[in-house]
Structure 1
Amino acid sequence: MNLEEAMQDRRSIRGFLDKPVPRPLLEEIIALANRAPSSMNTQPWHLHVLTGAPLEAVRNGNSERMLAGVPPVREISAHAAYTGPHRERQIEIAVQLFEAMGIERHDKEMRQDWVMRGFRQFDAPVSIVVCLDKALEQDTIGHFDLGAVTYGLTLAAWSKGLGCVINGQGIMQSPVVREHAGIPDDQIIMTCVAMGWPDEGFAANSVVSRRRPVDNVTRFVGFDD
């Protein structure tokens, strides 16, 4: 698979086979993602790769706290409510996913189950917790750098036959993640990436989010017509 194929074909995977991912393969993926660019070559990221009992403890802790009504506890600022076209695109992908899964608008039980899957890291066999050096906590450039390495993880995984979804729900109870992943105090939990072998029979895995055309997102300045 070449780079263009990986970028065109990649999609978010939310259903995984119950099949472990070998550590050497994960190391290959991380070595590729680690080539991501960063401002002044600071490379401010740290990746904590969870599987087995520690990941199960995170799943259980996240689920228990959310079901008990514990408010989300993140180490980064939560975004404001989406409005305008951002809200429209958020709704569009939700509709695509719910239609694929056969979840009706009025079916509160199935909608709740879908939400809880996110807190369980979509039952993936691997979760990579992406952290930032705390010294750069207020440095938005560092946040940008972590976006680069996170996208690198998803592309590298796809090129090796694995699927991913970048999963902000997975760190909404960050104290649980910090405890069971053993994350040092000098790092900030930013997000996580659920990763594993795609379950081709899982309906939501067929969903491909639509993208705006180039002329909708781009202005060319100084070019001849």
Structure 2
Amino acid sequence: MNHTVLAFDETVRQRSSVRAFLPTPLSDAQIRAVLQDAQYSPSNCNTQPWHVHVVSGETKTRLGKLMTANDLAGVQTPDFSFSYEDFHGEYFDRAHEQARIYYEALGIARDDKICRKEAYLRNYQFFNAPHAAFLFMPSFGDNIRVASDIGMYAQSFLLSLTARGFAGIPQTLLGFHADMIRKELGVSSDYRLLFGISFGYADTTAPSAQVRMPRIPVEQSVVMHG
């Protein structure tokens, strides 16, 4: 078991969205340690609304095949909307730059639709990660506050992975097949699926492992008063 835990400043800077994993599984104790860290996340009125289903082995493989089949058939049932067309201005520019950097790292040309589709479908293979966590939430009001609580939980989860020498990636796409995921995992329709996190040990030899997405200066997103 990995007993080395990074300091916070190292952890938050080393965390990245890893898109290539080794097949080596984490132990039950290692996964539980990460889950225990994430359990201390803040939430509105201490509601702690996260409902997390961790999948591994045959269950994970089956879900990946079912999501791939759905996607290829043009079937998606997300509980929450998502479209790149909703981005605008500088936000669209950052999303476009992220895609450019990633595909260039993979050596995939912009007009190579076949290879881009193959790279896209690797989301459903969890980028070879041995585990994935599906983050469900109850529905309260317009769901904004609940979703923000899930986001804080996810960040705690991801930082704990990094601090303990593991890696993860939050994947919006894993939330695009909510009906099927609920059915396969026996989750009540009272819970909505926001997204999933693939996790395990990073494959540091993969081309995508060399990718570090840029961050804008603090001055571009923060205004100091007083």
Q: Into which bin does the TM-score normalised by the smaller protein fall?
A: over 0.9
Check conservation: 1:137, 1:188, Cα contact below 8 A. Answer: no
Give me the CA root mean square deviation: 1.3
Letter in structure 1 aligned against 2:169: V
- Give the whole-Å Cα distance in 2 for the aligned partners of 1:215 and 1:57: 46
Deviations, residues 141-186 of structure 1 (Å, cap 9, x unaligned) = 1111110001111100111111111001112111221122222233
Q: 2:120 aligns with which of 111, 115, 120?
A: 115
In the other structure, the counterpart of 1:190 is 194
* Structure 1 residue 172 corresponds to structure 2 residue 181: no
Letter in structure 1 aligned against 2:68: S
Identity of aligned residues (%): 25
* Structure 1 residue 15 corresponds to structure 2 residue 20: yes
TM-score using structure 2 length = 0.93
Q: Detail structure 1 runs of 4+ shifted over 3 Å in the superposition.
A: none
- Give the whole-Å Cα distance in 2 for the aligned partners of 1:212 and 1:108: 30
Deviations, residues 101-155 of structure 1 (Å, cap 9, x unaligned) = 1111122221011110113322211110011123x26331111111000111110
SS of match in other structure, 2:86? coil
Check conservation: 1:100, 1:203, Cα contact below 8 A. Answer: yes
In the other structure, the counterpart of 2:7 is 2
Between stretches 102-111 and 191-200, larger displacement belongs to 102-111
The CA deviation at 1:27 is 0.5
Aligned residues: 220
Check conservation: 2:21, 2:128, Cα contact below 8 A. Answer: yes
In the other structure, the counterpart of 1:213 is 217
In the other structure, the counterpart of 1:104 is 109
In the other structure, the counterpart of 1:140 is 144
Check conservation: 2:20, 2:127, Cα contact below 8 A. Answer: yes
Q: 2:156 aligns with which of 147, 152, 158?
A: 152
- Give the whole-Å Cα distance in 2 for the aligned partners of 1:119 and 1:168: 11
In the other structure, the counterpart of 2:136 is 131
- Give the whole-Å Cα distance in 1 for the aligned partners of 2:102 and 2:185: 30
The CA deviation at 1:81 is 2.3
SS of match in other structure, 2:40? coil
SS of match in other structure, 1:77? coil
Alignment gaps of 5+ in structure 1: none
- Give the whole-Å Cα distance in 2 for the aligned partners of 1:181 and 1:160: 28
* Structure 1 residue 55 corresponds to structure 2 residue 81: no
Check conservation: 2:20, 2:128, Cα contact below 8 A. Answer: yes
Letter in structure 2 aligned against 1:186: D
